[in-house]
Amino acid sequence: MQEDFHYYATYAAAVLAGYSHEESMEICYSAQFVDLCTRTFLTRVKGPKNAATTQLQLELMDADTHIVGLQDITRIWASFHFLPKDLYAQKKHVTKRYLRKYRLICGPNGELVRDTVNLAKGTSLQAVGIAMHVLADTWAHANFAGTPSLVINNTDSHFYEVYPDGSEKQINFRHTTAPDDVEKGLYTSSLFQGNENSIMNLGHGRAGHFPDYSFARYKYLPAWGGYEEVFKDNPSDYYKAFRQMIYAMKYIRGEEPEFKLDYYDGTKADEHKEEIMGIITKRQIDACLDWKAFGESLSGKEIPDFSTESYIQEYLDAAEDQKSGTFLGRFFTGALSQKSMVTNRIYSSGNKLAGYSIEYKKEGAK
């Protein structure tokens, strides 16, 4: 997903869940910041490098694709953008090596989503924002894995956009720096790379930005799918994501007794369903203005434009022992927590693709 959903739509969902304007701003800022907190940024603000929640394209190109580098990449992308749906998924007649990657395929309503939401409960608003980013991405990034893998993430020429009238058009992805042209149906994706661990095969790179467009309905053959066609209905999924965010935040606020999977807020979103679906189904690359207008209509307050600079000075000016209390400090703590939890779950399932993890409470520091 993009800024339109992570920032503005999350704000709207937070307001509908009962948060105040100020609280909603902290949540939505954190949700969007997950897409910007890179090691380069952390170096600049002298923050903890392990709190990185994403990687720049050039950081990725520079990344080691040896085992340590791959673990580092997987830790970040699986924890924040491609939360695995089922770490114990089974597939017949495959090697252990294949199964490890297969089990990292992202999807909504997996156990890890519940763990993510529970982790955010009772902590900071920044952690809530991180959780909302992760939850939303499980819908947009479903069927792709947050680890470089040709055999999981590759796509091929069998990729069709399905229009509302039922007609289909084959998408021939370009490999240029030109922006996507939704009017002409021209989209860009990463180049085919035959190397299993190539960065080009990370996440939904082989489908470009297309999975992040809320209006997109498409069918394709995922590399792992055994030639079965997958149909992805983004408008329906994005609406579910929005409703699930409201439900999750209501639970975090204490208005719901538990966070159930496959359960979505029924009332708050439905009151505005027509307006929301109008935004989601509108054929545009960037829906920021529409979501912003919607969010402002809910709260009656202005939503400032997102800026990475907003909280840097506060963090830099704070004394060492005060940094964790700043906005960025709380975000870093939340990010470390999320990354740690997901890495531990992946490791505990017998999968070392995200590296090693020990349970401090059981084994102590080593």
CB of 123 to another protein, least distance (A): 15
Nearer to another protein, 19 or 77 (CB): 77
CB of 70 to another protein, least distance (A): 11
Farthest CA pair distance, the chain: 60
How many CA within 13 A on the CB side of residue 359?
Answer: 6
CB of 358 to another protein, least distance (A): 6
Nearer to another protein, 244 or 337 (CB): 337
Beta carbons within 8 Å of 177's beta carbon, 6+ residues apart? 188
User: 112-116 — which CB contacts under 8 Å span 24+ positions?
Assistant: 112/83, 112/84, 112/85, 112/87, 112/342, 112/345, 113/83, 113/138, 113/261, 114/259, 114/261, 115/341, 115/345, 116/83, 116/338, 116/341, 116/342
CB 256 within 8 A of CB 250: yes
Nearer to another protein, 158 or 273 (CB): 158
Determine phi and psi for 362, rounding to 5 degrees: -85, -45
Residue type, 89: A
Nearer to another protein, 228 or 262 (CB): 228
CB of 193 to another protein, least distance (A): 12
What is the Cα–Cα distance from 103 to 147, expressed in whole angstroms? 11
Nearer to another protein, 184 or 366 (CB): 366
| Residue 329 tokens, joined | 């400090």
Nearer to another protein, 234 or 343 (CB): 343
Query: How far is the CA of 325 from the CAs of 205, 322, 328, in angstroms?
Result: 36, 6, 8
Which positions lie near another protein, rule CB under 8 A?
38, 40-41, 43-44, 50, 56, 58-59, 61-62, 67-68, 71, 75, 91, 94-95, 97-98, 150-151, 154, 156, 158, 194, 196, 221-229, 339-341, 343-344, 355-361, 365-366
CB of 198 to another protein, least distance (A): 13
CB of 360 to another protein, least distance (A): 4
CB 75 within 8 A of CB 355: yes
CB of 231 to another protein, least distance (A): 13
Nearer to another protein, 45 or 277 (CB): 45
CB of 201 to another protein, least distance (A): 11
Q: Select from 3, 33, 27 the least CA-distant residue to 249.
A: 27
Nearer to another protein, 97 or 283 (CB): 97
